[in-house]
Amino acid sequence: MTNLEKKRVVVTGLGAVTPIGNNLAEYWEGLLTGRNGIGPITLFDPSRHACRIAGEVKGFNPHDYMDRKEAKRMDRFAQFAVAASKEAIADAQFVINELNAEQVGVIIGTGVGGLKVLEDQQEVYLTRGPDRCSPFMIPMMIANMAAGLVAIHTGAKGPNSCTVSACASGAHGVGDAFRLVQRGYAQAMVCGGTEAAVTPLSVAGFASARALSTRNDDPKHACRPFDRDRDGFVMGEGAGILLLEELEHALSRGARIYAEVVGYGMTCDAYHMTSPVPGGEGAIRAMQLAMKDADLVPEQVSYINAHGTSTPVNDPTETAAIKKVLGDYAYKVAVSSTKSMTGHLLGGSGGIESVAAVMAVADDQIPPTINLENPDPECDLDYVPNQSRQQTVEVVLSNSFGFGGHNVTLAFRKYRPE
């Protein structure tokens, strides 16, 4: 398919459930004011754990989005996805009906799916026997159920799938949805990522891998990307959802357009289960592919929403990759990690960070990297420390890198009629 045959794809709706706000307005305001969503774990008793902090979603009531019976049959990760998807569709003033349902699809990524249900049912199995396990265990647990339930709740009958690529899952969801609309397989796509993995087994596993911060006595300063005193990431939970729409369809109904999706790059390190390849070769190629897809040169990039996990290895590796891709211009580009406020949502991170990237374009404001007090000498770019910045934002790159060597870069730009 030639470039002339590719359809333009725009973002017309956004939804968010996050540790710093349970809707788009609260989330964006929280990012711009540097609100910190990290605190002591309350979802379970963490007293035996090395890590006892996380970015939990607070005050979320699933009954605001579904009836009690439906909520009872959904894991938390699926509840988040349904809530954020309904918000994104309403935000776009988009109506799914019998006439267009087959042209509206859903792709929602998640890293681990219904882990809480799995852990709870394992306990039931061990203490009460196999016959007492819930008949809803499997449909509540499986990773694709967020996408399936969003379709059930909204009536979207078009392309539907689930991306599972660890911390790149949500970004893969957005990128794959972009391709489907761009190539004419759907008129609109509900897409993004969701996760609810703040569970005893998950926290124990990541802690055993020495991936998590153990700054339990100071949770507000635990997540500190690009800071020399960082000691690991902080787990978060939530969902970020975008409604992507084919441009002509959006214009025909007078839709508000937040931004245009213009590039998608994905690669694999093929190097190690958990560590990025030294020098960031896979991340470099993902950024280069996204920029080539979008026909961008370095001087057009205004802002990079970094993967920025606050781990000893990721932050300098990503910094080196950005320098390689942008050359000397890297020092003139704003780079920030919103994980400093939300924690790391694993498979949901690419979703909420895509929402942040789109809002930066729409609002001409760049969220800060909070807790950046003592910069790592290897991390010497402009990380927008501690305070948001107002400036014209034409193009944003959003990076997501996952265990297994998965790398994704998405490119968003201001919508300009041609």
- Averaged pLDDT, groups of 10, the chain, 418 residues long: 76 98 98 98 98 98 95 97 98 97 98 96 97 96 98 98 98 98 98 98 96 97 98 98 98 98 97 90 97 98 98 96 98 98 98 98 98 96 98 98 96 94
Q: Does 57 lie in the same domain as 161?
A: yes
Helix-helix angle 76-91:145-154, to 10 degrees: 40
- Give the pair of three-digit tokens for residue 122: 């394992």
Q: 306 burial class (0-12, 13-18, 19+ CB within 10 angstroms)?
A: buried
Q: Does 281 lie in the same domain as 155?
A: no
Given the residues 153, 249, 344, 406, select the one marked as catalytic.
344
257 in a structural domain: no
Q: Does 83 lie in the same domain as 224?
A: yes
pLDDT of residue 418: 78
Structurally, the chain folds into a number of domains equal to: 2
Question: Domain boundary residue among 252, 273, 307?
Answer: 252
- In a 3-state reduction of DSSP, which class is residue 157? coil
Beta-carbon count within 10 A of 388 CB: 17
Q: Does 286 lie in the same domain as 153?
A: no
Given the residues 51, 153, 162, 167, select the one marked as catalytic.
167
pTM of the model: 0.97
Distance CA 223, CA 90 (A): 33
Q: Does 237 lie in the same domain as 92?
A: yes
Q: Contact at 8 Å (CB) between 276 and 168?
A: no
pLDDT of residue 1: 43
Q: Contact at 8 Å (CB) between 195 and 112?
A: yes
Kind plus residue range of the DSSP H or E element containing 304: strand 303-305
Identify the domain containing residue 151 by its residue range.
9-252
Question: Domain boundary residue among 225, 252, 279?
Answer: 252
Q: Does 287 lie in the same domain as 231?
A: no
218 in a structural domain: yes
CATH of the domain at 146: 3.40.47.10
19 in a structural domain: yes
- In a 3-state reduction of DSSP, which class is residue 408? strand
Average pLDDT of the chain to the nearest whole number: 97
Question: Domain boundary residue among 252, 280, 315?
Answer: 252
Q: Which amino acid is at 336?
A: S
Q: For 50-70, what is each residue's pLDDT tens digit? A: 999 999 999 999 999 999 999
Q: Does 242 lie in the same domain as 123?
A: yes
Q: Which amino acid is at 241?
A: I
Q: Does 284 lie in the same domain as 218?
A: no
Q: For 283-296, what is each residue's pLDDT tens digit? A: 999 999 999 999 99
Q: For 127-139, what is each residue's pLDDT tens digit? A: 999 999 999 999 9
Distance CA 376, CA 319 (A): 11
Nearest residue to 364 via CA among 341, 339, 389, 340: 389
Q: Does 318 lie in the same domain as 201?
A: no
Residues paired with residue 221 on neighbouring β-strands, in sequence order: none
Q: Which amino acid is at 10?
A: V
Q: Does 28 lie in the same domain as 167?
A: yes
Give the up-direction half-sphere exposure of residue 176: CA atoms within 13 A in the CB hemisphere. Answer: 24
Given the residues 172, 249, 307, 406, select the one marked as catalytic.
307
1 in a structural domain: no
Among this protein's residues, is 167 annotated catalytic?
yes
